[in-house]
Amino acid sequence: MKRTKQEAINFAVFRLPALSVNEGVARAAVAAFCAQMAPTATELSDIKCAVSEAVTNCVVHAYRERAGHFTVTVLLFPDRRVRIAVRDRGCGIPDVKKAREPLFTTDAAGERSGMGFTVMESFMDKLTVRSVPGRGTLVVMEKQFGGGAKRT
Amino acid sequence: MIHTDYHWEIREREGLLVVRLAGEIDHHNAVRLRGDVDELLLGKRPRRLVLDLSRVDFMDSAGVGFLMGRYRLMQELGGVLAVKSPTPRVEKMLRLCGMERFMEIETDRKETER
Ligand SMILES: Nc1ncnc2c1ncn2[C@@H]1O[C@H](COP(=O)(O)OP(=O)(O)OP(=O)(O)O)[C@@H](O)[C@H]1O
Ligand SMILES: [Mg+2]
């Protein structure tokens, strides 16, 4: 079956310094932007969690002690779908498959649960992660509002 | 000034310490929350620590890391940790991360404290 590529009906781009205070800023900004799609409270809270995970990874892992930025792009599609991309230009992930496993963390000393990617995967419908060591990481997540097929 | 979006209240009774947290538990807030809670724990050394999550309206995996850290500290101190009254959203996060294997999760369906 041919799936025609849809154009976004609205989009937003947020670029923020990788400071921990911006974790809350980023998830609130994305939630405010998604509100125009009239999501349910549960859909909105799932999105906030997923964005918080992706952004926290930029703050904690991508730049470590160094300064840097991350960019969050939100695209809204006419079939009530949202796509969120979180991009950093940090250290990258050498083995993405391994990093996505539940409980995997490279920061055991920091009280991490290693569940960030698992949360993104369970709370969204689709997750893709692209990363180049030394160049950065791109996390793209999608969610269908209102009765979309959900894999749990 | 960097603001910290949580606050708390405590209640205690022979060996029991109940801390009611309010606000958002993410990586940003967990750093200070951890320092505050641990100071309280090391000072009071309760046998049972109950973290009341009824007023916590947001928690991500950093909050789960915070709970696991307190679970380990309570074990070292010879006590136990329980969490109480999470909202359905917070409970979803706790169950996804398998927290019920480490700590009792008291939901409002059976109110035991107070
Ligand atoms: N943006 C990123 N840049 C570099 N490394 C990353 C990035 N995101 C994730 N990682 C790597 O992938 C691992 C797994 O990430 P995940 O979010 O699942 O767990 P965590 O961040 O370690 O713990 P938690 O999210 O539960 O606090 C991290 O420990 C880190 O090594
Ligand atoms: Mg993470």
What spacing in Å lies between the alpha carbon of A102 and ligand 1's midpoint? 11
pLDDT, tens digit (0-9, with 9 covering 90-100), for A7-27: 999 999 999 999 999 999 999
What's phi and psi for B53, nearest 5 deg? -100, 10
Give A8's DSSP letter: P
Interface test with A, best of B3, B26, B29, B102 (most A CBs within 10 A): B26
Classify residue A150: in a domain, yes or no. no
- Asked if residue A42 belongs to a domain, the reply is yes
Burial of B70 (0-12, 13-18, 19+ CB in 10 A): buried
Give me the residue from B58, B62, B96 closest to A48, CB to CB.
B58
Could you tell me if A152 and A122 are in contact, meaning their C-beta atoms sit under 8 angstroms apart?
A: yes
Distance CA A132, CA A21 (A): 26
pTM of the model: 0.92
Residues of chain A in contact with residue B70, where contact means CB-CB under 8 angstroms, are: none
Find the CB nearest A20 among B27, B34, B93.
Answer: B27
Structure confidence at residue A151 (pLDDT): 42
What pLDDT does residue B8 have?
67
As for the ipTM of the complex, it is 0.90
In a domain, A2, yes or no: no
Name the residue range of residue A38's domain. Answer: 10-144
**What is the count of structural domains for chain A?**
1
CB contact under 8 A, A23 and B96: no
Calpha distance B83→B47 (Å, rounded): 14
Tell whether A5 is covered by a domain. Answer: no
Q: Regarding predicted confidence, which is higher, A135 or B1?
A: A135
State how far the Cα of B80 lies from the Cα of B98, in Å rounded to an integer: 17
Catalytic residue among A83, A89, A100, A112: A112
Q: What is the pLDDT of residues A94-118, one digit of tens each?
A: 999 999 999 999 998 889 999 999 9
Side-by-side strand order, sheet with B80-84: B6-13, B16-25, B48-59, B80-84, B104-106
Q: Whose CA is nearest to atom 7 of ligand 1?
A: A57
The single residue of A43, A57, A87, A121 carrying the catalytic annotation is A57
CATH number at residue A132: 3.30.565.10
User: B56 φ, ψ to 5°?
Assistant: -90, 115
Beta-sheet strands, E only, within chain A: 10-17, 69-77, 81-88, 126-132, 136-144
C-beta of residue A125 within 8 angstroms of C-beta of residue A142:
yes
- For chain B, list the domains and their CATH numbers: 6-109 (3.30.750.24)
Does A1 map to a domain?
Answer: no
Cβ-proximal residues to B77 (8 Å cutoff; 6+ apart), any chain: B41, B42, B45
Angle between helices B27-44 and A21-34 (to 10 degrees): 130
Examine residue A151 and state whether it is found in any structural domain, yes or no.
no
Residue A60 falls within a domain, yes or no?
yes
Per-residue pLDDT at A150 exceeds 90? no
Nearest CA to ligand 1 atom 22: A105
Within a domain: residue A96? yes
Closest Cα in chain A to B57: A45
SS3 (DSSP) at B39: helix
Average pLDDT, rounded, for chain B: 88
Closest by Cα among A95, A94, A110 to A56: A110
Contact A80, A146 (CB under 8 A): yes
